[in-house]
């Protein structure tokens, strides 16, 4: 039971990390020092998507599920939890590249907005 709970908590951490990557740039409006956490997170997430790699949290979660006598799954976190909600079941390389580009474009836009907003003060 503890392994299953740990796997579920890891899914939550994984989802929060993805949210931080996508929209965490907005936190820089209030806490500029977060750029030292956010920018590496964005680069890491984009690299994983562009290279078609699986986040290291995914095998850890699968191992915890196995130890908790739960059935694991194949593929990565995004393929298993998020894509079935917003995309067809099969993750293709093209979709991963698009997701990576969306992460980069979204965050560059947020950073530019913050940069120009700070320049007007």
Question: What burial class does residue 58 get, using C-beta atoms within 10 Å of its C-beta: 0-12 exposed, 13-18 middle, 19+ buried?
Answer: buried
- The tokens for 53 are 């790699």
What domain range includes position 23? Answer: 2-119
Query: How many distinct structural domains can be found in the chain?
Result: 1
C-beta contacts of 60-66 below 8 A and 24+ residues apart? 60/10, 61/7, 61/10, 61/11, 61/14, 64/3, 64/4, 64/6, 64/7, 64/10, 65/3, 65/4, 65/7
pLDDT 10s per residue in the chain (121 long)?
A: 788 788 888 888 888 888 899 889 889 888 989 999 999 999 998 888 888 777 888 888 888 888 888 765 555 555 566 555 544 456 677 877 888 888 889 889 988 988 888 776 6
Q: How do residues 86-117 score in pLDDT, each as one tens digit?
A: 444 566 778 778 888 888 898 899 889 888 88
Report residue 113: phi and psi, to 5°: -60, -45
């Amino acid at each position: 039971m503890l392994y299953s709970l740990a796997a579920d908590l890891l899914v939550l951490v994984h989802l929060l990390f993805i949210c931080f990557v996508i929209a965490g740039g907005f936190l820089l409006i209030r806490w500029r020092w977060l750029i030292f956490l956010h920018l590496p997170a964005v680069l890491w997430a984009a690299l994983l998507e562009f290279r078609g790699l699986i986040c290291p949290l995914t095998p850890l979660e699968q191992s915890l599920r196995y130890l908790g006598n739960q059935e694991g799954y194949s593929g990565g976190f995004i393929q298993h939890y998020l894509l079935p909600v917003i995309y067809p079941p099969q993750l293709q390389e093209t979709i991963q590249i698009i997701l990576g580009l969306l992460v980069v474009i979204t965050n560059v836009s947020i950073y530019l907005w913050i940069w120009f907003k700070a320049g007007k003060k």
